[in-house]
Chain A
């Protein structure tokens, strides 16, 4: 009985200590399933561009940071319910998300693209190399028209709650059958199995998958930016947490100026995706 009491007391004390130890430190949520932005190595440790960038930013801010894992579809709710204090998960800055959370300035930008299996009828589309939906113009309208025709009745797969899903839902490419998955891994699996006629995600996540799996996944159509695709990837922060927001903005400025972001981007993406 006495032992039990001691154990209980110890538990309470250690809980108390762990709470106090956390004051002055922040938690950063990431998905750990969206390489090369963030993923896990074979032993389950979080790795990737954003994991290293988060550590670099925390060092600049002199914050004690822990990076925690969170499923993508619960990312923003987890932030608003204070499971962690910042999101660094390849999350694009969009107006839709800004209604719920704030974003720091962008630290990296990356275009989206459609991908198909080699030999697909969608492989050679007559579209420009890249289109920016915010700029618009006749070229963009024409490209969207070409895509609408090509994708009519096709099944296009995306990860749920992403800018890619928003874009397909927006109707810019007509009525395609949108299939949503919990993770990008599952999208890739169903693209290779042939259940999806095409998939839409960050271009780099397809090239990364093609390289690592050896599957014949190829990019097709234009690369997309602007509009529903947002304005770069930034740190998601709760509304009202303005001090942390300022800290991150200052830290990103510093990391950009001293070349840290570029260096990490080249390491993980193979090109300078920093912004």
Chain B
């Protein structure tokens, strides 16, 4: 065990953690909007819209994140036509390719989490709103969405943790996130155990913080 290497690599890994956190937060925010949008589409009575939203979540939940990120990064990069369009400005950058892949992936899971949360809302809540003469939009934004958020917190907390670990795949498209820098250090020291233990510890700590934050929110939003 090379303790010196562990302490030396810690600051480098810590600054790479910022990249990981940036990837995570940006894709979670975009993913939340995508998820909400598709959850609403899923509850639409129009069969075509409904199936479209279902197809999206089916494809992105049914394929590995690694495959998705490879298709977006290496796959789309091979299409010559695409390279001459304005889209290439975004797709040329590994950072945005990773953000697109992560957002679409977490968006699919989030849409399912929110849909099931919406569907478990007791009809009584909505009826109560209606009987008070509240407009439909008001009921949706002020009653349904807050309840849905409450219902979906435990599952969504899980999704955040899964996504945190998912961001490690950014290193496969040349991004220097926590895993990427860990691999870089290993490539010059040939000591994977020490470096990955430190990197794993940092991931574990982030998970610990996220887990407790969600727990705190759950308590705050509980009915009691």
Mostly, the B contact residues are helix
Complex CA–CA separation, A7 to B142 (angstroms): 63
Interchain CB contact under 8 A, B183 and A160: yes
Complex CA–CA separation, A192 to B74 (angstroms): 11
Of B4-12, B108-116, B186-194, the one with at least 4 CB within 8 A of chain A: B186-194
- Nearest CB to that of A162 among chain B residues? B187
Q: Which residues of B contact A193 (CB under 8 A)?
A: 74, 77-78, 83
Q: Is A182 an interface residue (CB 8 A)?
A: yes
Q: Choose among B174, B184, B190 the residue that contacts A76 (Cβ–Cβ < 8 A).
A: B190
Q: Which residues of A contact B25 (CB under 8 A)?
A: none
- Nearest CB to that of B88 among chain A residues? A194
Q: What's the minimum C-beta distance from A6 to chain B, rounded to whole angstroms? A: 39
Q: Is B136 an interface residue (CB 8 A)?
A: no
Interchain CB contact under 8 A, A194 and B92: yes
Interchain CB contact under 8 A, B190 and A73: no
Complex CA–CA separation, A166 to B186 (angstroms): 13
B77-100 vs A, Cβ < 8 Å mask (1 yes, 0 no): 110000100000000101000000
Q: Is B172 an interface residue (CB 8 A)?
A: yes
Interchain CB contact under 8 A, A189 and B74: yes
Task: Report the interface size for chain A: residues with CB under 8 A from the other chain.
Answer: 25
Complex CA–CA separation, A210 to B174 (angstroms): 23
Interchain CB contact under 8 A, B174 and A73: no
Q: Which residues of B contact A74 (CB under 8 A)?
A: 192
B186-209 vs A, Cβ < 8 Å mask (1 yes, 0 no): 111011100000000000000000
Q: A193-B83, A194-B92 are in contact. Are A73 and B186 (CB under 8 A)?
A: yes
Complex CA–CA separation, A19 to B187 (angstroms): 31
Complex CA–CA separation, A179 to B60 (angstroms): 28
Interchain CB contact under 8 A, B191 and A160: no
Residues of A180-223 contacting chain B, CB below 8 A: 180-182, 186, 189-190, 192-195
Q: A193-B77, A195-B77 are in contact. Are A73 and B92 (CB under 8 A)?
A: no
Residues of A62-119 contacting chain B, CB below 8 A: 73-74, 76-77, 80, 96-97, 100-101
Q: Which residues of A contact B94 (CB under 8 A)?
A: 179, 195
Q: Is A30 an interface residue (CB 8 A)?
A: no
Interchain CB contact under 8 A, B77 and A190: yes
Q: What's the minimum C-beta distance from A198 to chain B, rounded to whole angstroms? A: 15
Interchain CB contact under 8 A, B188 and A96: yes
Task: Report the interface size for chain B: residues with CB under 8 A from the other chain.
Answer: 16
Q: Is A161 an interface residue (CB 8 A)?
A: yes
- Nearest CB to that of A157 among chain B residues? B174
Q: Is A165 an interface residue (CB 8 A)?
A: yes
Q: Which residues of A contact B78 (CB under 8 A)?
A: 189, 192-193
Complex CA–CA separation, A31 to B174 (angstroms): 20
Interchain CB contact under 8 A, B187 and A165: yes
Complex CA–CA separation, A181 to B188 (angstroms): 15
Interchain CB contact under 8 A, A73 and B77: no
Interchain CB contact under 8 A, A77 and B174: no
Q: A186-B74, A193-B78, A195-B92 are in contact. Are A161 and B187 (CB under 8 A)?
A: yes
Interchain CB contact under 8 A, A73 and B74: no
Q: Which residues of B contact A166 (CB under 8 A)?
A: 188
Q: Which residues of B contact A194 (CB under 8 A)?
A: 77, 83, 92
- Nearest CB to that of B77 among chain A residues? A193
Complex CA–CA separation, A161 to B77 (angstroms): 24
Q: What's the minimum C-beta distance from B219 to chain A, rounded to whole angstroms? A: 43
Residues of B127-165 contacting chain A, CB below 8 A: none
Q: What's the minimum C-beta distance from A128 to chain B, rounded to whole angstroms? A: 30
User: Most chain-A CB neighbours within 10 Å: which of B83, B92, B187, B188?
Assistant: B187
Q: What's the minimum C-beta distance from B194 to chain A, rounded to whole angstroms? A: 11
Interchain CB contact under 8 A, A160 and B74: no
Complex CA–CA separation, A77 to B83 (angstroms): 39
Complex CA–CA separation, A165 to B185 (angstroms): 12
Besides the known contacts A160-B184, A161-B187, A161-B188, 14 further A-B residue pairs in the complex with CB atoms under 8 A apart: A73-B183, A73-B186, A74-B192, A101-B190, A157-B174, A160-B187, A179-B94, A179-B174, A182-B172, A186-B74, A189-B77, A190-B74, A190-B77, A195-B92
Some 26 contacts from A to B, beta carbons below 8 A apart, are A74-B192, A76-B190, A96-B188, A97-B190, A101-B190, A157-B174, A160-B187, A161-B186, A161-B187, A161-B188, A165-B187, A166-B188, A179-B174, A180-B184, A180-B187, A181-B174, A182-B172, A189-B78, A190-B74, A190-B174, A193-B74, A193-B78, A193-B83, A194-B83, A195-B77, A195-B92
Interface residues, chain B, with chain A CB atoms under 8 Å away = 74, 77-78, 83, 92, 94, 172, 174, 183-184, 186-188, 190-192
